[in-house]
Structure 1
Amino acid sequence: MKVDLFDFDLPQSRIALRPVRPRDAARMLVVQGSDAPFEDRGVRDLPALLNPGDVLVFNDTRVIPAQLEGRRADGEAKIGATLHKRIDLRRWQAFIRNAKRVRQGDQIIFGGGVTALAEERLGDGSITLLFEGEEPVEVLLDRAGTMPLPPYIASKRGVDAQDLEDYQTMFAAEKGAVAAPTASLHFTPRLVDALDAAGIGRAMLTLHVGAGTFLPVKADDTDDHQMHAEFGRISQTTADQLNEARAKGGRIIAVGTTSLRLLESAVDENGIIQPFAGDTAIFITPGYRLRAVDGLMTNFHLPKSTLMMLVSALMGRDRMMAAYAHAIANEYRFYSYGDSSLLLP
């Protein structure tokens, strides 16, 4: 399938550089079926838009300060590193800025006295970094790293202290993501209380989001694109909760494409969600038959991105292109800090 089929023109003014406050004050475009009118609603309307017995599935991953700035130990080259996947206790795969100046065995000195050795150069262009010393890598990153905001935000205004709070969901618990599961950024304790009162359930899973999820698709055809693997976990308790809810007639609504991708990685041919612990590189495009979810709450995605392809698989390409045209015309805010959509096939 041609990647250009998922392209659209987005005015730069529609890219949100800060979230709305409070978080649940964001707008939400409701897209149902193949021909129902689009509904311009708000995130606070969510309890009224779902049914008692439905279950929202959240990703409880926590973003780590995975953006590092430094230089080669010989002082000759400035190096930027964005960690995107843990290999073991001391090694991470990283996308490197100025990678042509990094050779195998080079020591890179980051802030706070943090150093790492460049090891293997991988086929996707990333490099394995071995962090030196005895302190846990998480401690080193807290000292030397910054929040890894997407480039469409960071390049326009930089990263500041407010992002430490803004780019973390209220459910964040398990450290390991290098990008936020941004659909969950809209939730507040007040909204969660309203969902509880409406009889709408909550379930948790963990997918440590990697920067590769948001990389542009460089291939001309989707068959030629390779997804980066990310580690995920679904407990037996969560799997049982979701299967029971569905057996009783409830819908499984993924909050965010990360939750959807992990659920679809764990579901069997009969639509039963199984416990899961491991890597997933699932790539969902139109023609894929979704088995695990009945709906999706998600933000508005980049043109020609794997996420635009995923929502098109759920709702149909033509339907999503029309929805995005509506969102742009009605001045919805796009991307990580932007507004939301509720997609119900």
Structure 2
Amino acid sequence: MVRMQPQPAQRIALVAFPGIRAFDVAVISEVWGVDRTDRGAPRFALRRHGAGRAPVGMSGGLTLTPDQGLEALDGYGASDLVVVPGVEEHLAPVPEPVLAALRSAHAAGVPVAALCGGAFVLAQAGLLDGRRAVTHWNLTGLLARSYPGVQVVPDALFVEDGGVWTAAGVAAGIDLCLHLVRTAHGAEAAATIARAMVTAPFRTGTQAQFVEQPTPCSDREAGALAAVRERALRRLSEPLTVADLAGWAGMSPRSFARHFTATTGTTPVQWLLDQRVAAAQKLLERTGLPMPEVARRCGFGSEVTMRQHFAARLATSPRDYRRAFRAAAEEEAEAVTEGMAG
């Protein structure tokens, strides 16, 4: 009996050096280091790269032992994605071999991503010069003052510019990691991992919602808003309005919109559109439904409207999106057939 050949695993390189945050290492390991292929998730090969094989000290007194050297980051087919955890001391000098390896990987066309304070590492490497970047809201001023060449975005959850990704603090690192999975493998792959992590496949809005400020609404109102979002997700095919949502929450439309934006960082209309696009992505990946039917089920009303929102949010069309994932499925089927024939 001939065994089927699986698709090659995406190669993820975690950069390890003294002072990295244990939480960020845990996030990276949870997203890319756990085998969930039995649930339909893609295959990943997570490697931990350091200047040597000695244990690296992390926050909280923990250590991480690299299993690869930094030379594997040089872009010569060794990695598909390089991820840098955040650091505890944001202005502390990073070992030059680490910075040189990051520069080399980026020059070779390998995407480089940093979580939270990891933006300061990329800035030290010169990878953020003239580029947009984000970090934790409490560190944006420090990043801007320390590296004037960086175009600091004050309130985004994550940002990409020229193949370099940065994310805001802590949970936004999860958002970025799942987004990178979604970009490479599709919305369903990211959703599979998110379900296993008991987290949202993606969040909308900005980190402005997390800046220290007076509580925007009471616990009762927050609970009502959460119930409204859950109810809306079950009824995306309907032509929902802000007035409809406000009625479910027992608020006036104006009060509802104000509380909703303060809680989520985005408006009710934008939130609904984001959920409709996400639902359409899943249908395009999973089914062969005609475009008008996909648009109807996701509440767009027409294929034209759905196409407009896809272009605005994903820089592609629904047909091209489906075509890309159908091509990937065909490649996988071809690999399996070749394996059986071999």
- Same fold judged by TM-score > 0.5? no
> Which structure shows the bigger proportion of residues in helix conformation?
2
Between the two structures, name the one with larger relative contact order (CA 8 Å, sep ≥ 6): 1
Higher strand proportion: 1
TM superposition score normalised by structure 1? 0.29
Q: TM-score, normalised by structure 2?
A: 0.29
